[in-house]
């Protein structure tokens, strides 16, 4: 085996130069956070503020007839019904997409799985664990040119790291950050460089780490030629992961530009009430953890730590429960008898309401952070989706989707978009196009589409 | 372990050849292309503990593996390392390396003292990395390979002004290398079969060690590989005998049964504290541990009949579990103590233990369907089709109906043809456990109604969960399943159709040897099948794998 020795003398020389001063200013590469004086664009180029993308997932859909009032034509105004009433004050930030279908071409509807896979990958799975293509968040992340510390941040408020609906393939899925404490530590722990601190002193250990990874990467390249095609791809993914960490380290060695939007949240451990927070699927716990994690995530975006993120509020089988109740949210959707007067399953409806309340909290969290002459949400697109329309019968046609944010002025908001039975992939295609991906079609078989939802484009 | 003691004695008398001559050769198989298998979390932890000691803490999360053919181990063969996953691995590597070189540990772990703690020392670093690298990469490092961490250590020591910081940097590098994180099937031309390839001795050692011990090869196994002994039947057999007699076998078997029983699901198990106040996270942890202790005691320590796991009354008890089982536990220190349920007690066999009952239930109620499905899929290797996507379950859940018990409710499923097919497979055997609630506690009634636990397993009738255990014990699918899973676990992939003859062979031997798992392990471990690889790109080993001897 041929071994290549570390080849980073220039970096080491640079580091040694950097280390000469106690607090130094280093010539920086272009960073998105440099704003013009009006805070509306990047000073260096006049380009608009960066647009970020995030997904928000919830399990078990809606209570039909009690969530969003149906419309026959796309147009402004969304009639939020009782289940979604918390979203009503946020109408100006939101689009609702109803009446889009999920044709499977004879493939099975793997319950609570097919729905999210198809809407996020554009392809229907052929088994109950297949992820046939990368999820749209990763396609968007791949297209982001300016590096951030994290390519994506995957989070969940249900306390289970496995509950992450972002993946490149069946066997290529990261664990989600599943506790507020761990999320905080990862983003704002010792390796976070505060852009608003006056002094900046590069940590020599960061340079050492980069040299280590460079050496490992060089040494391991020899393996590549000796692997089969599938394994070579896996090794390439490994190298991609190495490069991602190297990018992180590069950013840690540069003084970030001051960033008014970035207000580092206080450590969670500082607040006694939030120490040792309970985790689990009891609905109040999920909601409380989600609220804290939303704040951390929003500030991670504001502080330019990532441009793409995923939040799973509830899992696809929504195992959320209330204390003392024998039925989980999922069991209720199947086994609770609908109330004859109300016309729906009242306890399942309760969980659905809590879920939509949480979505409102999430959106509001981003809308509350000033950025430029607007808010962080104005420079974002949040894709909020579920896996089923009516969980009681596992229906996937008409599965509801929301988007939130104006994507830096590229999206209109406040619209109710009527799908008329078109494939759900139209929403994903439009979202990716708005995020700047140069694609004109997406999806496979009957989920294939080349029809942008032009009504939402600004 | 009786069988191993016997085998060791035979070896000591130099009669191994005679013994092997009595056994029928496993049928030849083609094998699969060389694999590139990601270490599991347990393997990673075991390797760190073996190499540096149990005092080294390993924190952080691992990318989730996908269960394939019933095993996460099979999923590991095609698992990727995501950016977030590598970030965690890098974090862990640095943490481990920092602990290794800490003042508390360095004198024990680092085999030399630098000339100055404030400066680089290539000789000492090379000595350390040569030794540690061999264990981490599961093969000797070439001189050039050793230079990589030595160079890292030198540069880092110069930058940071500390030899041990440099050493930690080099070690962290080794621990994020794909040569450590992946078990790589390196191959070489097969001298006995011109034109074909075989695993080199180090890859053989790794495959064997991950199979039996769920960790990297130890020094003796690597030395045997170096000498070419693993390419000889005698040498391979000697190592297998040694490994089966080792205390590390327990960790290996724990890993296998943890995987086969899908006990990773314990990570997300929770119960409603109002409905089940006696259940806690500690109970869940002990429940898992109880079942693993029961298994290890029976199949490893006692070298007993695997099928007895479904009927045994012997187990181990902890204080928290005693409260769930409602039995006295005489260990004020909270430790474990052997326990045997009385003849006639409803508790007998794994299926009546808290682990199985609680894991395959909902947070606030039992689930005959989940339990039945787990038995069919995990223990009998039978695939239950996914549920149809268009059934309105509430049709048979009217609270005003007389359906009080799970049996009443599930019987209603049979009125829906789309449901009936699968529920006939799962529910009858799941209903046998209905006198054990969702937390694993015994109960006589549900909603005031008596519980009927009678049924049959593939035509064999039973009256209750203990009776189901007896039916399981006699069901031919039970040993067949563990053979399939064990072989699949060993090779890290789903067996091909053309390996059925081989599986039949293992199954036949398993039965002939009294269904002793140690014999099954031995049979697989010494078979050519475990190491078979089909033609594919040859990964030349960094170091010669030793002499050739196919005798």
B302/B451 same-domain check: yes
Of B81, B147, B177, the CB nearest to A241: B81
Same-domain check for residues B400 and B525: no
Within-domain flag for A237: no
**Are A436 and A114 a contacting pair, CB within 8 Å?**
no
pTM metric for this prediction: 0.89
Residues B468 and B346 in one domain: yes
What are the structure tokens assigned to A78, written together? 């969304």
Are residues B518 and B449 located together in one domain of the fold?
no
Whether residue B497 is found in the same domain as residue B513: yes
**DSSP alpha helices (H): ranges in B63-200?**
72-76, 83-100, 106-109, 122-137, 143-160, 163-175, 178-181
Q: Rounded to a whole number, what is the distance in Å from the CA of A39 to chain B's nearest CA?
A: 32
Look at strands A380-385 and A52-57 and give their pairing.
parallel
Q: Does A159 touch chain B (CB under 8 A)?
A: yes
Confirm or reject contact between A211 and chain B (CB < 8 A): yes
Q: Which residues contact A78 (CB under 8 A, 6 or more apart)?
A: A68, A87, A91, A94, A95, A96, A414, A415, A416
For residue B151, give the nearest of A5, A161, A327 by CB distance: A5
| Interchain pair A3, B64: CB under 8 A | no
The single residue listed with the structure tokens 């697989």 is: B524
Number of domains in chain B: 3
Q: What are phi and psi of B431, to 5 degrees?
A: -65, -25
Residue B97 lies in a domain: yes
Number of domains in chain A: 1
Specify which residues A80 forms β-bridges with: A68
B508 located within any domain: yes
Give the pLDDT of residue B398: 54
Read off the pLDDT band of B256 (50, 70, 90).
very high
For residue B15, the number of C-alpha atoms closer than 13 Å in the C-beta half-sphere is 8
Do B293 and B158 lie in a common domain? no
According to DSSP, residue A12 is labeled H
Q: Rounded distance, CA B150 to CA B130, Å?
A: 10
In a domain, A398, yes or no: yes
Residue B105 contacts A, CB cutoff 8 Å? no
Of B149, B182, B215, the residue at which a domain comes to its end is B182
Q: Is B161 in the A-facing interface, judged by CB distances under 8 Å?
A: no
Closest CA to B407 of B421, B392, B427: B427
Shared-domain flag, residues B433 and B496 = no
The mean pLDDT of B183-193, rounded to a whole number, is 94
What's the mean pLDDT in B43-64?
95
Residues paired with B445 in a beta bridge:
B450
Q: What are phi and psi of A397, to 5 degrees?
A: -75, 140
In a domain, B142, yes or no: yes
Q: Is there a single domain that holds both residue B512 and residue B498?
A: yes
Q: Is the pLDDT of residue B141 over 90?
A: yes
Nearest CA-CA distance, residue A40 and chain B, Å: 32
Q: Are residues B468 and B512 in the same domain?
A: no
Burial A307-332 (b: 16+ CB within 10 A, else e): bbbbbbbbbbbbbbbbeebbbbbbbb
**What's the pLDDT tens digit per position in B412-458?**
666 666 677 777 788 889 999 999 999 999 999 988 889 999 999 99
Strand duo A308-312 + A153-156: pairing = parallel
Whether A99 and A370 have beta carbons less than 8 Å apart is answered as: no
- CB distance B541 to B185 below 8 Å: no
- List the CATH number of the domain containing A385: 3.40.720
SS3 A57: strand
The answer to whether position A414 is within a domain reads yes
Check CB contact of B364 with chain A, cutoff 8 Å. yes
- B368 belongs to a structural domain: yes
Residue A422's contacts (CB-CB under 8 Å, 6 or more residues apart) are A99, A100, A101, A449, A451
Instruction: Judge residue B540's burial from the number of C-beta atoms within 10 Å of its C-beta, 0-12 exposed, 13-18 middle, 19 or more buried.
Output: middle
- A374 falls within a domain: yes
> Do both B413 and B502 map to the same domain?
no
The average confidence (pLDDT) of chain B is: 90
User: Which pLDDT value is given to residue A269?
Assistant: 60
End position of a domain, from candidates B474, B497, B513: B474
Local confidence band at B6 (pLDDT 50, 70, 90 cut-offs): very low
Token reading at B401 = 């109906």
**Confidence at B392, pLDDT banded by 50, 70, 90:** low
Contacts of A230 in chain B (CB under 8 A): 78
Greatest alpha-carbon pair distance for chain B in Å reads 84
Residue A245 contacts residue A206 (beta carbons within 8 Å): no
| Residue B176 and residue A220 in contact, taking contact as beta carbons nearer than 8 Å | no
- The answer as to whether A236 is a domain residue is no
Same domain flag for B362 and B508 = no
Measure B60 CA to nearest chain A CA, in Å: 10
What does the block give as tokens for B373? 């499905």
Q: Walk along chain A (458 residues) and give the pLDDT tens digit of each residue.
A: 323 333 333 344 444 444 433 333 333 333 333 444 444 555 445 556 679 999 999 999 999 999 999 999 999 999 999 999 999 999 999 999 999 999 999 999 999 999 999 999 999 999 999 999 999 999 999 998 888 999 999 999 999 999 999 999 999 999 999 999 999 999 999 999 999 998 888 889 999 999 999 999 998 988 988 788 889 999 999 999 999 999 889 988 988 888 989 999 988 764 444 456 788 899 999 999 999 999 999 999 999 999 999 999 999 999 999 999 989 999 999 889 899 999 999 999 999 999 999 999 999 999 999 998 899 999 999 999 999 999 999 999 999 999 999 999 999 999 999 999 999 999 999 999 999 999 999 999 999 999 999 999 99
| Residue B1 reports pLDDT greater than 80 | no
Q: Does a structural domain hold residue B140?
A: yes
Distance separating alpha carbons of residues A347 and B397, to the nearest angstrom: 14
Structure tokens belonging to residue B549: 């001897």
- CB < 8 Å from B in window 110-129 of A: 110-111, 114, 128-129
Q: Is residue A34 part of a domain?
A: no
What Rg value do the Cα atoms of chain B yield, rounded?
26
Do residues B221 and B253 make contact, with C-beta atoms less than 8 angstroms apart? no
List the alpha helices (DSSP H) in B176-318: 178-181, 201-212, 219-226, 233-244, 248-260, 281-295
Does the beta-carbon distance from A326 to B272 stay under 8 Å?
yes
CB contact under 8 A, B362 and A328: yes
Residue B404 touches chain A, beta carbons under 8 Å: no
Are B364 and A326 an interchain contact pair (Cβ–Cβ within 8 Å)? yes
Give the percent of chain B with pLDDT over 70.
88
Q: Does A234 touch chain B (CB under 8 A)?
A: yes
B274 in reach of chain A (CB within 8 A): yes
Task: Tokens 């791949």: give the residue.
Answer: A142
Q: Is residue B235 part of a domain?
A: no
Give the rounded distance of the alpha carbon of B12 from its chain centre.
31
Across the interface, of B165, B394, B542, the residue whose CB is closest to A392 is: B394
Q: What separation, in Å, do the N-terminal and C-terminal C-alpha atoms of chain B show?
A: 29
Closest among A250, A262, A146 to A191, alpha carbons compared: A250
Q: What is the mean pLDDT of residues B499-521?
A: 97
Residue A279, pLDDT score? 84
Residue in chain A nearest B539 by alpha carbon:
A226
> Looking at the complex, does the CB of residue A228 fall below 8 Å from at least one CB of chain B?
yes
Considering only CB atoms, B365 lies closest to which of A223, A326, A345, namely: A326
Contact across the interface for B79 and A171, Cβ inside 8 Å: yes
A54, A380 Cβ separation under 8 angstroms? yes
User: What are A410's two structure tokens?
Assistant: 């590229």
Nearest in space to A382 (alpha carbons), one of A93, A62, A76: A93
- From B162, B182, B202, the end of a domain falls on B182
Among residues B45, B34, B38, the alpha carbon closest in space to that of B180 is found at B38
pLDDT-based confidence at residue B406 (cuts at 50, 70, 90):
confident
Q: What is the mean pLDDT of residues B225-235?
A: 97
Q: Of A255-264, A267-276, B220-229, B398-407, which gets the smallest average pLDDT?
A: A267-276
Dihedral sign for Cα B34, B38, B44, B48, please. Answer: positive
Full domain range(s) for residue A302:
52-196+263-456
Q: Using a CB-CB distance cutoff of 8 angstroms, which residues of chain A are in contact with residue B539?
A: 223, 226-227
d(CA B249, CA B296) in angstroms, rounded, equals 9
Q: Residue A347 has which token pair?
A: 């306890």
Q: What angle do CA A162, A166, A169 make, to 5 degrees?
A: 95
Name chain B contacts of A211, Cβ cutoff 8 Å: 152, 155-156, 169
A-chain residues near B383 (CB < 8 A): none
- Nearest residue to B154 via CA among B195, B123, B187: B123
What residue in A sits closest to B384 (Cα-Cα)? A128
Residue A78 included in any domain: yes
A402 part of a folded domain:
yes
- Residue B127 counted as domain residue: yes
Q: Please list, in sequence order, all residues whose beta carbon lies within 8 angstroms of the beta carbon of residue B78, skipping any fewer than 6 positions away.
A: A170, A171, A230, A234, B68
Residues B406 and B445 in one domain: yes
Kindly indicate the confidence band of residue B538, based on its pLDDT and cuts at 50, 70 and 90.
very low
d(CA B298, CA B277): 31
Question: Chain B within 8 Å of A425 (Cβ-Cβ)?
Answer: no
A61 touches A389 (CB < 8 A)? yes
Sign of the CA dihedral running A137, A138, A143, A148:
positive
B114 interface with A at CB cutoff 8 Å: no
CB contact under 8 A, A323 and B386: no
Q: Is B370 on the interface with A (CB under 8 A)?
A: no
Closest chain B residue by Cα to residue A159? B268
Whole-angstrom Cα Rg for chain A: 23
Q: Is there a domain that residue B3 lies in?
A: no
Range of the domain at B280: 256-474
**Half-sphere CA count of B279, side-chain side, radius 13 A:** 23
Backbone phi, then psi, for A185, in 5-degree steps? -60, -40
Ramachandran sector of residue B434 (left: φ over 0; alpha: ψ -120 to 50; beta: rest): alpha
Helix ranges restricted to H, A2-47: 9-18
- Contacts B88 to A, Cβ<8 Å: 175
CB B260 within 8 A of CB B39: no
- Lowest-pLDDT range of A123-127, B16-20, B339-343: B16-20
* Residue B31: closest CA among B428, B444, B490, B548: B490
A370-371 and A374-375 beta bridge pairing: antiparallel
- Decide: helix, strand or coil at residue A411: strand
**SS3 for B200?**
coil
Task: Grade residue B546 by pLDDT with cuts at 50, 70 and 90.
Answer: very low
Q: What is the ipTM of this complex?
A: 0.86
A324 close contact with B: CB closer than 8 A: yes
Please state, in angstroms and rounded to a whole number, the distance separating the CA atoms of residues A437 and A431: 9
A446 reaches B (C-beta below 8 A): no
> For chain A, first and last CA: distance in Å?
56
CB < 8 Å to B394, chain A: 334-338, 345, 392
B538 vs A contacts (CB less than 8 Å) = 226
- Residue A136 to residue A54: CA distance in whole angstroms: 10
Contact between residue B73 and residue B20 where contact means Cβ atoms under 8 Å apart: no
Please tell me what DSSP assigns to residue B116.
-
Q: Which residues of A are less than 8 Å from B66 in CB distance?
A: 129, 170-171, 173
Tokens in use for B24? 């029928």
Residues of A in contact with B35 (CB under 8 A): 231
- The rounded distance, in Å, linking the Cα atoms of B211 and B417 is 43
């Amino acid at each position: 085996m041929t071994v290549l020795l570390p080849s980073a003398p220039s970096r080491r020389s640079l580091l040694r130069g950097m280390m000469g001063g106690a607090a130094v200013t280093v010539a920086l590469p272009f960073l998105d956070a440099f704003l013009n004086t009006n805070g509306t664009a990047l000073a260096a180029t006049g380009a608009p503020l960066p647009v970020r993308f995030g997904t928000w997932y919830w399990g078990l859909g809606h209570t039909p007839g009690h969530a969003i009032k149906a419309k026959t034509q796309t147009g402004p105004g969304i009639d939020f019904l009782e289940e979604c009433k918390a979203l009503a004050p946020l109408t100006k930030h939101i689009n609702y997409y109803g009446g889009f279908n999920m044709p499977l071409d004879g493939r099975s509807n793997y319950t609570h799985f097919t729905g999210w896979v198809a809407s996020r990958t554009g392809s229907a799975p052929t088994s109950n664990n297949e992820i046939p293509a990368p999820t749209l968040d990763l396609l968007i992340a791949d297209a982001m040119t300016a590096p951030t510390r994290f390519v994506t941040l995957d989070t969940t408020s249900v306390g289970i790291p496995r509950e992450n609906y972002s993946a490149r393939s069946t066997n290529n899925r990261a664990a989600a950050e599943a506790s507020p404490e761990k999320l905080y530590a990862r983003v704002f722990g010792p390796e976070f460089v505060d852009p608003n601190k006056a002094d900046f002193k590069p940590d020599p250990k960061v340079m050492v780490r980069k040299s280590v990874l460079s050496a490992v990467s060089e040494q391991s390249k020899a393996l590549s030629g000796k692997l089969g095609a599938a394994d070579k791809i896996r090794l390439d993914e490994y190298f991609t992961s190495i490069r991602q960490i190297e990018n992180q380290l590069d950013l840690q060695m540069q003084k970030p530009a001051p960033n008014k939007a970035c207000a580092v949240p206080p450590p969670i451990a500082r607040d006694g009430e939030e120490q040792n927070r309970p985790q689990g699927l009891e609905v109040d716990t999920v909601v409380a953890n989600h609220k804290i994690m939303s704040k951390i995530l929003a500030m991670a975006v504001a502080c330019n730590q990532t441009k793409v993120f995923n939040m799973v509020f509830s899992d696809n089988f929504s195992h959320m429960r209330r204390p003392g109740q024998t039925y989980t949210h999922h069991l209720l959707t199947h086994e609770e008898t609908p109330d004859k007067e109300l016309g729906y399953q009242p306890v399942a409806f309760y969980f659905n309401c809590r879920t939509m309340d949480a979505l409102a909290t999430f959106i509001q969290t981003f809308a509350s952070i000033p950025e430029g002459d607007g808010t962080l949400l104005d420079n974002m697109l949040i894709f909020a989706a579920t896996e089923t329309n009516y969980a009681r019968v596992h229906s996937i046609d008409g599965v509801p989707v929301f988007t939130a944010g104006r994507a830096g002025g590229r999206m209109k908001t406040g619209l109710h978009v009527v799908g008329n039975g078109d494939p759900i992939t139209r929403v994903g295609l439009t979202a990716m196009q708005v995020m700047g991906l140069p694609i004109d079609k997406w999806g496979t078989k009957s989920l294939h589409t080349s029809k942008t939802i032009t009504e939402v484009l600004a | 372990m009786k069988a191993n003691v016997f085998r060791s004695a035979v070896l000591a008398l130099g009669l191994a050849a005679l013994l092997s001559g009595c056994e029928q050769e496993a049928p030849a198989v083609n094998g699969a292309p060389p694999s590139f298998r990601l270490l599991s979390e347990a393997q990673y932890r075991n390797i760190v503990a073996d190499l540096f000691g149990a005092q080294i803490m390993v924190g952080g999360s691992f990318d989730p593996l996908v269960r394939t053919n019933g095993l996460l181990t099979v999923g590991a063969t095609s698992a990727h390392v995501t950016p977030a996953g590598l970030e965690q691995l890098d974090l862990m590597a640095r943490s481990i390396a920092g602990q290794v070189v800490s003042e508390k540990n360095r004198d024990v772990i680092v085999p030399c003292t630098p000339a100055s703690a404030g400066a680089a020392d290539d000789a000492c670093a090379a000595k350390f990395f040569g030794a540690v690298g061999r264990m981490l990469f599961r093969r000797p490092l070439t001189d050039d390979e050793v230079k990589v961490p030595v160079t890292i250590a030198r540069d880092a020591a110069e930058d940071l002004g500390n030899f041990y910081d440099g050493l930690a940097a080099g070690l962290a590098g080794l621990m994020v290398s794909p040569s450590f994180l992946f078990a790589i099937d390196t191959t070489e031309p097969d001298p006995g079969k011109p034109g074909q390839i075989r695993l080199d001795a180090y890859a053989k050692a790794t495959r064997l060690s991950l199979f039996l011990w769920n960790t990297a090869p130890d020094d003796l196994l690597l030395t045997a590989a170096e000498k070419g002994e693993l390419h000889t039947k005698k040498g391979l057999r000697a190592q297998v005998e040694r490994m089966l007699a080792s205390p590390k076998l327990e960790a290996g078997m724990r890993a296998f049964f943890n995987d086969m029983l899908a006990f990773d699901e314990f990570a997300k198990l929770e119960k409603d504290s109002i409905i089940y106040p006696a259940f806690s996270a500690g109970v869940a942890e002990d429940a898992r541990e109880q079942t693993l202790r029961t298994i290890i005691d029976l199949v490893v320590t006692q070298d007993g009949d695997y099928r007895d796991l479904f009927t045994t009354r012997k187990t181990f008890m902890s204080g928290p579990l005693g409260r769930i089982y409602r039995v006295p536990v005489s260990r004020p220190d909270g430790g474990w103590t052997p326990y045997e349920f009385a003849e006639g007690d409803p508790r007998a066999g794994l299926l009546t233990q808290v682990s199985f009952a609680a894991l395959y239930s909902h947070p606030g109620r039992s689930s005959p369907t989940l339990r039945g499905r787990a038995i069919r899929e995990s223990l009998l290797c039978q695939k239950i089709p996914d549920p149809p996507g268009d059934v309105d379950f509430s049709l048979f859940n009217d609270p005003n109906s007389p359906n009080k018990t799970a049996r009443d409710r599930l019987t209603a499923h049979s009125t829906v043809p789309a449901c009936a097919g699968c529920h006939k497979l799962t529910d009858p055997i799941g209903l046998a456990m209905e006198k054990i609630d969702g937390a694993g506690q015994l109960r006589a009634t549900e909603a005031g109604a008596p519980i009927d636990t009678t049924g049959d397993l593939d035509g064999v009738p039973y009256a209750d969960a203990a009776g189901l255990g007896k039916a399981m014990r006699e069901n031919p699918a039970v040993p067949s399943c563990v053979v399939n899973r064990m072989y699949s676990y060993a090779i890290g992939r789903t067996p091909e159709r053309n390996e059925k003859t081989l599986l039949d062979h293992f199954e036949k031997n398993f039965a002939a040897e009294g269904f002793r798992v140690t014999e099954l392990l031995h049979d697989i471990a010494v078979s050519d099948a475990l190491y078979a690889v089909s033609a594919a790109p040859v990964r030349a080993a960094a170091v010669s794998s030793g002499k050739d001897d196919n005798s």
